């Protein structure tokens, strides 16, 4: 009997020990998990504080908005984002860290398993001017369509898809309105991602069309520095197929577009800036270029990008031939005294492409760079520390002369004039939204606050 009791108590103690060990292990796992979550929340909160201090927390364009009542903190959005530190976790829920660096990829939107993320343009307090377009990308003016960056979706893949969808709808409309004489089915304004995609779709449907581009093939993409990396994703081009590009140079992307257009006998009228789109009484449109060329079409697709015409500084000497608004071939520029003006990625990347073979000064009107990608921020800091690049903050160009440039530099409440030798000036001050151009064509533009856009590429 005594032996049986001993065995029973021994087994009971062993079983209790197992339960205790299991409970202890569970407590350790929970403790490690909670500690990890706490550390993650702390890191994210610190990043948000820094982003707010540097002006990178507020969005500049398309950005994710997280519904905390729906978010389950899976972290799928963070893993899917192609950029660093756009999103993070606080108290096991997603939070936006530096919205100003968001490229509008939409990967977070697609990755969220509970649809807690929507994509928005503007905030509750800061509006963004956008033209009125319906789900088919047609504006309030029947027959005028807008696709790509001008409508708020700037990513290359999104622009390509919108150009295709807009032209598909135009192709359907063409069936009920046959072009006569010199009247085209459609005029495509802009040969960027949306315009090229639209042209291929127009060719697929056998439409009578013309593509007009104020600069050269590629639009805004062509104006990128030659070695600039273009972030994109697989995209479908009609009459060409799927293009699988994730990180590629500008030249590689332009090569694809040239091949697609050449294969389908599509030509672009380059250096042809459209000045006016004039609605006609019969419902068609008169398209007038800066060279006073005139085209007529039953439909017009505008794919010119939000920047329109480069913004000028309006200073004396800006009309000198040494002043440029885009950098095309930095590898051919050697031994020059160069001033780069601007605080965005284009300005920073151009300055860094020029700095190894030239003496480059980067002028920015604010005291810190708030609108650049994290990779550029790190490279810029390294270049400045190594003395490869001279940066003058709180500075504005006052005058551009043949062999020098004059800057006004603020230091607290004081301001000084700084003059430096100069051979070339590159200005990256953004572009003017083509508001007047659109309004003259009858397109309505409204300032949108926290405007929710539809699914990218849908």
Q: Which CATH superfamily is domain 310-431 in?
A: FAD/NAD(P)-binding domain (3.50.50.60)
Token pair belonging to 74: 């899976």
The dihedral formed by the CA atoms of 15, 17, 21 and 27, expressed in degrees to the nearest 10: 100
Which stretches of 85-226 are DSSP H helices?
A: 107-111, 156-174, 193-204
Are 214 and 220 in contact, with CB atoms under 8 Å apart? no
CA-based torsion, 282, 283, 288, 294: positive or negative: negative
Coil, helix or strand at residue 454: coil
Domain 133-308+433-448 classification at class level: alpha beta
- Cα separation, 76 vs 81, in Å, equals 9
Q: For residue 441, what pLDDT is reported?
A: 93
Q: Report the Cα 425 to chain-centroid distance in Å.
A: 25
Token pair belonging to 80: 């899917």
CA-based torsion, 62, 160, 157, 353: positive or negative: negative
Domains 133-308+433-448 and 310-431 share a fold: yes
Backbone angles phi, psi at 335, to 5 degrees: 60, 30
- Cα separation, 199 vs 178, in Å, equals 18
Token pair belonging to 409: 């530099």
Among residues 173, 176, 214, 223, the alpha carbon closest in space to that of 195 is found at 214
Architecture of domain 12-121: 2-Layer Sandwich (3.30)
> Apex CA 253: angle with CA 118 and CA 204, to 5°?
80
Are 189 and 150 in contact, with CB atoms under 8 Å apart? no
Total-model pTM: 0.72
Question: E strand or H helix at 375, and its extent?
Answer: helix 374-385
Q: What are the residue boundaries of the structural domains of the chain, listed by start?
A: 12-121, 133-308+433-448, 310-431
Number of other CB atoms surrounding residue 88 within 10 Å? 21
Q: Report the Cα 375 to chain-centroid distance in Å.
A: 15
C-alpha atoms less than 13 angstroms from C-alpha of 94 in its C-beta half-sphere: 33
- Cα separation, 73 vs 92, in Å, equals 5
Contact residues for 43 (Cβ-Cβ < 8 A; gap 6+): 88
* Angle at which helices 193-204 and 156-174 cross, to 10°: 30
Are 136 and 166 in contact, with CB atoms under 8 Å apart? yes
CA-based torsion, 402, 404, 406, 410: positive or negative: positive
Length of the chain: 458
Q: For residue 456, what pLDDT is reported?
A: 45
Q: Report the Cα 332 to chain-centroid distance in Å.
A: 28
Number of other CB atoms surrounding residue 229 within 10 Å? 13
Q: For residue 246, what pLDDT is reported?
A: 60
Q: For residue 457, what pLDDT is reported?
A: 44
C-alpha atoms less than 13 angstroms from C-alpha of 264 in its C-beta half-sphere: 24
pLDDT, averaged in runs of 10, over the chain (458 residues): 59 67 73 73 86 75 87 90 85 87 77 89 81 88 89 72 93 75 90 92 94 79 55 73 69 83 91 93 93 94 79 92 86 93 90 94 90 83 93 95 95 90 93 84 87 60
Q: For residue 458, what pLDDT is reported?
A: 43
Are 239 and 263 in contact, with CB atoms under 8 Å apart? yes
Q: For residue 6, what pLDDT is reported?
A: 64
Q: For residue 422, what pLDDT is reported?
A: 96
Question: E strand or H helix at 13, and its extent?
Answer: helix 2-53
Q: Report the Cα 78 to chain-centroid distance in Å.
A: 19
Number of other CB atoms surrounding residue 20 within 10 Å? 10
Q: Which residue has the tokens 């509970």?
A: 114
């Amino acid at each position: 009997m005594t032996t049986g009791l001993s065995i029973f108590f021994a087994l009971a103690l062993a079983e209790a020990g197992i339960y205790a060990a299991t409970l202890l292990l569970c407590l350790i796992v929970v403790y490690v998990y909670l500690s990890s979550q706490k550390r993650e929340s702390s890191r994210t909160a610190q990043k948000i504080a820094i982003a707010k201090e540097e002006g990178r927390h507020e969005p500049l364009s398309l950005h994710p908005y997280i519904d905390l009542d729906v978010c389950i903190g899976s972290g799928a959005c963070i893993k899917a984002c192609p950029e660093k530190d756009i999103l993070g976790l606080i108290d096991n829920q997603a939070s936006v860290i530096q919205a100003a660096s968001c490229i509008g990829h939409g990967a977070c939107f697609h990755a969220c398993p509970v649809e807690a993320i929507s994509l928005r343009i503007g905030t509750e307090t800061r509006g963004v001017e956008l033209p009125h377009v319906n789900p088919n990308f047609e504006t309030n003016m029947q027959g005028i369509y807008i696709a790509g960056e001008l409508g708020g979706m700037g990513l290359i893949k999104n622009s390509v898809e919108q150009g295709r969808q807009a032209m598909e709808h135009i192709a359907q409309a063409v069936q009920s309105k046959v072009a006569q004489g010199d009247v085209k089915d459609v005029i495509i304004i802009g040969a960027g991602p949306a315009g090229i995609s639209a042209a291929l779709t127009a060719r697929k449907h056998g439409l009578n069309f013309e593509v007009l581009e104020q600069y050269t093939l590629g639009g805004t993409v062509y104006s990128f520095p030659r070695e600039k990396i273009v972030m994109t994703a697989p995209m479908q081009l009609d009459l060409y197929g799927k293009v699988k590009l994730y990180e590629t140079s500008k030249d590689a992307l332009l090569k694809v577009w040239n091949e697609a257009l050449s294969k389908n006998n599509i030509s672009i009228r380059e250096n042809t800036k459209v000045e006016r789109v004039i609605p006609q009484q019969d419902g068609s449109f008169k398209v007038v270029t800066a060279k006073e060329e005139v085209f007529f079409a039953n439909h017009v697709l505008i794919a010119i990008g939000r920047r329109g015409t480069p913004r000028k500084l309006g200073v004396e000497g800006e009309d000198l031939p040494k002043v440029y608004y885009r950098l095309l071939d930095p590898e051919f520029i050697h031994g020059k005294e160069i001033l780069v003006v601007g605080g965005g990625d284009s300005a920073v990347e151009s300055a860094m492409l020029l700095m190894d073979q030239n003496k480059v000064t980067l002028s920015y009107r604010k005291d810190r760079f708030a609108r650049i990608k994290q990779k550029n921020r790190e490279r810029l800091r390294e270049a400045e520390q190594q003395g490869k690049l001279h940066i003058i903050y709180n500075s504005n160009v006052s005058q551009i002369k043949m062999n020098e440039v004059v800057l006004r530099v603020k230091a607290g409440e004081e301001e000084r004039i700084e003059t430096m030798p100069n051979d070339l000036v590159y200005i990256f001050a953004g572009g003017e939204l083509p508001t007047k151009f659109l309004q003259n064509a009858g397109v309505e533009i409204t300032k949108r606050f926290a405007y929710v856009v539809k699914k990218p590429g849908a």
